[in-house]
Amino acid sequence: LGADRLPDLGRRNWNKREYFALIKIGREEKKTNTFTSKSPVSSKTLIFTNINHDTNFEAVLYAKRQWHKDEEVGRISVSLMFILESRSPDGSCIVNHDMTSCPGAQLEFLIKMIAPRSLTSETTDAVAEASLAIDHLSPPSAIQTMVRAKNVGVELLEGANIVEEALSPVVKKTDFSAFIKNVEVFVGIVDTIAEVHPYAKMAWLLVKGVYTIVQDQIHRDDKVKDLFLQMASLYEIVGDLRRQLEDGGIKSSTELLSRISKQTLNCCYFIRDYASPGLMKRMAKSTFATVDKRILEYTDAFKSLKDEFHGNLHVETRVIVSLVLKGVERLETTVDLNDMSYSPSSLGPSKRCLFGTREEPLERMTTWANSDSQDHPSILVLTGPAGTGKSALAHTMAHQFRELERLGSSFGFDRNESTRSIKLLFPTIARDLADLNDDIRNALWAAVGKSKEIRMTQDLSLQFENLIAKPLK
C-alpha cells in the first residue's frame, strides 16, 4: 500500500521495481531479501545477538539498480530504549516512519524481542514466538504466507543469547486527511448552533493536533487505527447535514450533534494519553485489559452515534469519558471526605459570554487548556480593568469543560460572602478533583484520611501541601 508513491527510477514499471532494506544494530549489519513494489513485504527474519540497549535500530531502504549503484530511497533510526518502552506485553513493537522523500509512503518493521535464552532446547519456541508476532503486522495474510514458507532454522544458529527481530518492511498508506476535512466542514455547518459550535470547534482543533502528534501510533497500532477509522466513519454524516442545509435547515437533533462533538473530544483526549511516551512502561500489566475495553467502548459509541443519526438506533448513546491516570494504588477502604470544607459552585448561564462574542480569546484559552506539551505554561492569567469581561470568559470556559466532564474545579472569590473565602479554595479544589476521579480520591484519602485535623485545617500552607501537592505527586 502506498508503494506506487515510491520514486520512479525510469527503468521498470512501478510494480516490478525491486527493493531491499539494510538493517544495522550496533556493529552488526544485515540485509533483507528483495521485494517488489507490487508485493512490498520482506519475509526474511533477521537475528541480532548481544544487543546493547544504548544503541540505535537503523534501517535504510534501497532500490536495486542493475548497472548502477543501488539508490537510497529512505531511512529510519530509532533508539532501542524507545522500542523497549513502546513494546506490547508480548515483547513486540511496530516501528514505522514516513519517508520524507516519498510523501504518502512508509517503511514499517515488526520487531520481536525475546529474553536471553539457550537455543539448544528452545529454538522451536523462539521461532513460534516470532511467527506469532508477525500476525500483528498489517496486512497479515501476505506476510504470514511468506514468513511461514521461509526456513529460518539456519539463521537461529548464530548465537546463544538473542534478541530476535522479525523484521518485515512494509510500504503502506492510510489517508485520514478526508476525515479531518469532514470535521472542519462539520464545524462550519453547526456554526450558528450555540449548544454545539464551541465543542465542534474544540474537537476540530484537537483532532488535527492529536493526529499530527500521534500519527505513527495510529498507523502502527491496529486498535487505535480502527478507533480512528470508526471516528472518521461517523463524520461521513456531513454529506447528509449539507443536504439538510440545502433543504431549509438542520433537522438533526442539536443535542445529538453536541454529543458527537463531545465524544470526539473525549476520544482525542484518550488517544493522546494512550500514545504518550512511556505509557507502556508506567502502566501496570493489569490495566492493559482496561485500556482495550475502553477502546472498544469508544468504537461502539461512534457506531451507535452514526446509527442514531440515521435513525437506526432509538436509544440515546452515552458519551464515554476516560480520565487516564497511571500508577495510583487502589484502596479497599471507604473514602469519606465530607468533613472537609467546601464552597458550592458559583457557575450560572447568566454569567457566561453571549454566543458569538469573545471568540478569539476563548479559542486561545481552549487551545491552552487542551495542550499537553511539557513546555506549555500551567497557568493562564487574565488581566484587564474591571468590567472588561474577565469573569465572563472564565465562567464560559468552566461551563464548557464541565459539560465535557473535564472541569477539575472552579472557584469564585467574594469578600462579602463567607463561602467564597480564600480559606475554602484548596479544600474545594481537592474535593472537586476527588469527585472527578476515583484515583485522585484514593490518593487524597491516603494523604489525609488518618488525620481529621489536617482535613479541617484553616492554614493555607498546610492545606496546599496535604490536600493538593501530596495527592497529586
**C-alpha cell at position 312:** 437506526
Going by C-beta distance under 8 Å and a sequence separation of 6 or more, which residues neighbour residue 337? 430, 431, 434, 441, 444, 445, 455
Identity of residue 123: T
Residue 436 pLDDT exceeds 50: yes
Q: Is the dihedral of CA 268, 318, 433, 444 positive or negative?
A: negative
Per-residue pLDDT, 93? 74
Q: Provide the percentage of residues in the chain whose pLDDT is more than 90.
A: 18
- Give the Cα separation of 239 and 236 in Å (integer): 6
- Give the Cα separation of 275 and 280 in Å (integer): 9
The answer to whether the beta carbons of residues 238 and 257 sit under 8 Å apart is no
Helix axes 197-220, 177-189, angle to 10 degrees: 170
- Closest listed residue to residue 258, CA positions, set 250, 269, 249, 270: 250
- Give the Cα separation of 267 and 179 in Å (integer): 15
The DSSP output letter for 156 is G
Residue 151 pLDDT exceeds 80: no
Per-domain residue ranges of the chain = 14-112, 123-137+171-327, 334-370+386-472
Per-residue pLDDT, 407? 93
The answer to whether the beta carbons of residues 97 and 74 sit under 8 Å apart is yes
Per-residue pLDDT, 342? 92
User: Count of CB atoms within 10 A of residue 177's CB?
Assistant: 8
182-196 pLDDT, tens digit each? 898 998 888 888 888
Per-residue pLDDT, 279? 54
279-295 pLDDT, tens digit each? 544 444 445 566 778 88
Comparing 333 with 426, the larger pLDDT belongs to 426
Q: Which CATH architecture has domain 14-112?
A: Sandwich (2.60)
Per-residue pLDDT, 64? 83
Cα–Cα distances (Å) from 158 to 51, 203, 217, 462, in that order, read 13, 52, 33, 62
- Closest listed residue to residue 393, CA positions, set 409, 382, 403: 382
Per-residue pLDDT, 418? 86
The DSSP output letter for 469 is I
The answer to whether the beta carbons of residues 25 and 109 sit under 8 Å apart is no
Based on DSSP, count helices (H) and strands (E) in the chain, helices before strands.
17, 9
Rg of the Cα atoms in the chain: 27
- Give the Cα separation of 77 and 57 in Å (integer): 6
- Give the Cα separation of 284 and 419 in Å (integer): 41
The DSSP output letter for 378 is S
Per-residue pLDDT, 399? 92
Distance of CA 325 to the CA centre of its chain: 14
Cis peptide bond prior to 427, omega within 30° of 0: no
* 231: three-class secondary structure by DSSP: helix
The answer to whether the beta carbons of residues 448 and 472 sit under 8 Å apart is no
- Give the Cα separation of 287 and 172 in Å (integer): 31
Lowest average pLDDT, out of 138-147, 372-381, 421-430, goes to 138-147
